[in-house]
Amino acid sequence: MDISHLTTDKARQDALLSVPERRRIILADKWFNYDGARELMAHMEWLYEHPTVDRPPNMLLTGDSNSGKSALLKRLMSKYPSRYDPNDSADYVPILRIDMPTSCPPVKLFLAEFISALRLPLLSNATAVTMKAQMDRVLPKLGTKIIIIDEFQTILNGSPKAAINIRDELTLLSNRYRLPIILTGMDSARTVMRGDPQLDNRFEKFQIKRITDQKTAGAIVKKWLGECPLQKRSTIDFWLLTDHVIRNSGGLIGHMMAFLQRASEFAIDSGEESFTENTLRKMRWSMPKSI
C-alpha cells in the first residue's frame, strides 16, 4: 500500500486502521490554522496576557453561523483549561465563559449564568446583589484572565429596557474586575453595541470573514488531503477540488469541514479510498443552511 501522499506519521498510522476507526478519525473535530484564524487567536492570547489596568481592552468577535467562532473559543479554552477541586467547585478558572440565554435575560438571570459557570451554589432567594457578592468573594481567587460571553446578539430578543440593563452590567463587570471581555455572536451583535456609544468605544471589533479565495481554501484542502487517512492519493485536480469546497460551503469553515468529511466518508465507503471526480459527482451533499 502506497500511502506516501500522507504528510504526518500519525496520518500514515491512521490509514492502516479499520474502516470504523478511520471514520471516527475523519468525523472528529479538527483545527484549521489558516491566516484569519491565526490572527484572531493571536489577538485573544494578547488579551489573555494583558496586564491588569483600570480600563482593559475588550473584543467583539462576530461572524455567520458556522464561521468558526466556537472553534476559536474552544481552541483558546483548551490552552488554558479550568481546574476544579474534589468538591466540584471552581479552583482555577483562567477563562470564565458563559452563553447568553436565547432571549435577553433580566440582570439576575444574567448573573446566575456566571454563578453556574463558577459552580457556585445558587440560592433560591438569591438577588443580583447577593450574586455579585458571591462573585466578588470568589473570582479574584481563581486566576481569571478573560471573561467570554457567547451568543451576545440574543439580547436583541427582548425589551429595549432589558438590553440597556445588560449593557450597563457589562460596563460594571469590566470596571469591577478589570478583566478583558470577549463578546461573540452573529453580525447583529454589532447593532447592540451601536445603541451605547460609551460601551461601543470599549470594544475593538473583529469579524470572521467567509473564505472565498483559493489560496486560503487551498491551504485548508492541502492540509486535509495530507492528514485524512485515505489509503490512496487523490486523482482529482487540486484546484478543481478547492473550487468545489468553496462553492459547496459558502466559504464557511464549518461547512468546509463538513463537506470534506462527507467526501472522505464516501471515498472509504465506495472503496475508492481517494478524492476523485466520481467522489464529487456521487457523494450526497446538501449545504446546511446558516442561521
The secondary structure of residue 105, as a DSSP letter, is P
Question: Of 78, 71, 69, 76, nearest to 46 (Cα)?
Answer: 76
Give the Cα separation of 199 and 166 in Å (integer).
11
Taking residue 234's Cβ as centre, other Cβ atoms within 10 Å add up to: 20
Helix axes 160-177, 107-117, angle to 10 degrees: 40
- Amino acid 117: pLDDT: 92
Helices (H), 118-237: 128-138, 160-177, 189-194, 197-200, 214-227
- Tell me which residues of the chain have a pLDDT lower than 70: 88-89, 289-291
- Amino acid 288: pLDDT: 72
Whether 143 and 129 have beta carbons less than 8 Å apart is answered as: no
pTM of the model: 0.90
53-207: CATH architecture = 3-Layer(aba) Sandwich (3.40)
- Amino acid 88: pLDDT: 66
- Per-residue pLDDT tens digits for 144-161: 999 999 999 999 998 989
- Amino acid 54: pLDDT: 92
